[in-house]
Amino acid sequence: MIAATQPQRGRIRIGMTVPGAIGISLVVLIVGLTILAPSISPFSPSDQDLYNLYAAPNLNSAHILGTDAIGQDLLSRILYGGRMPLLIAGSACLLSAIVGVGLGVLAGARGGWIDQFLGRLADIQLAMPSIILALVLLAFAGVNLINLVIVITLATWPSQFRLTRAHAMSLRRQNFIEAAEMGGGSIGQIILRHYLPNVMPLAIVTTTLNLSTSLLLEASLSYLGLGVQPPTPDWGQMVAAGQSQLGAAWWLSVAPGVMLMLLILGIQLSGDWLAGRLSVRGMIRFQGWKKS
């Protein structure tokens, strides 16, 4: 008789590594600063100080990180500039997780033509560079907040789908799944009661790692002028605006670039620590996490 005992699901083991602590601290600090920007920024991001154009960073000045070409305080714009990337990338990452995990579980649990169709669709999309796909879609659909979220979601769901599908296919051969099928459970009931709880640890980690990919894609689009539009501040947009002044005013591009780099580093370190805590690092490495 087939045993109906479910395997031990991923559990968070208490314990913090140094890289994990650094990663979580960076993420909490940067996200906290952007959320509290209206309360802690010294100026409004649109205020102009026409007597201090291209002011260099100076800790003894009112403009600690300097000013830009029209006298806007760089520190204030950096604090506000992280709000839209986090909103867009976070929303796209959540939608990507819902689509990728849902379709991945369905394909892995059912197999057959559904698996073949979804698998080929994901493979075709992975064969195209994400930035090219995003540029084409935005050229036809236009640039706005909703379209940016949709484009980033479409560009990032295949990697989540592939990992979830592979894990669901391995679960399909487990005794507790066979027992549920022999017990007369419908495919919907089996997915909800058995597949989803067991793929959630993997889904949590891949969603965390997907966030860094979404942030990079959003910054790239803003850098190319197809993301967040002025006068709303955005890190990618700020890097592009200061590119022509790297020799004379290096801080215009370096400061927002460093903030983006630190946030992505923090997310990567946090995701790697979380993968170890949830015991899914081996699955992610075996399947080959692909950043679109």
Q: Which of 284, 146, 290, 129 minimizes the C-alpha distance to 217? A: 129
Cα–Cα distance measured from residue 146 to residue 153, given in angstroms and rounded to the nearest whole number: 11
Tell me how far apart the alpha carbons of residues 191 and 111 are, in angstroms, rounded to a whole number.
13
Q: According to CATH, what is the number of the domain 18-287?
A: 1.10.3720.10
173 Cβ contact list (under 8 Å, min separation 6) = none
Distances (CA, A) of 100 to 93, 154, 160, 182, 265: 10, 10, 5, 28, 24
Angle between helix axes 18-35 and 251-277 (nearest 10 degrees) is: 130
Residue 284's pLDDT is what?
62
pLDDT, residue 136, reads: 86
Q: Where are the domains of the chain?
A: 18-287
pLDDT of residue 65: 93
DSSP state of 194: I
Written as six digits, the tokens of 214 are 């979404």
Residue whose pair of structure tokens reads 């983006």 in the numeric block: 260
Instruction: Give the integer Cα–Cα distance in Å for 208 and 58.
Output: 36
Residue 152: predicted pLDDT: 93
Residue spans of the chain under pLDDT 70: 1-14, 185, 281-292
Closest Cα to residue 204, out of 154, 164, 158?
164
Burial of 45 (0-12, 13-18, 19+ CB in 10 A): buried
pLDDT, tens only, 95-117: 999 999 999 999 988 888 988 99
Sign of CA dihedral 208, 212, 215, 220: negative
The pLDDT, as a whole number, for residue 109 is 86
Give the pair of three-digit tokens for residue 10: 């991923």
73 in helix, strand or coil? strand
- Phi, psi dihedrals of residue 190, rounded to the nearest 5°: -65, -40
DSSP class of residue 144 equals: S
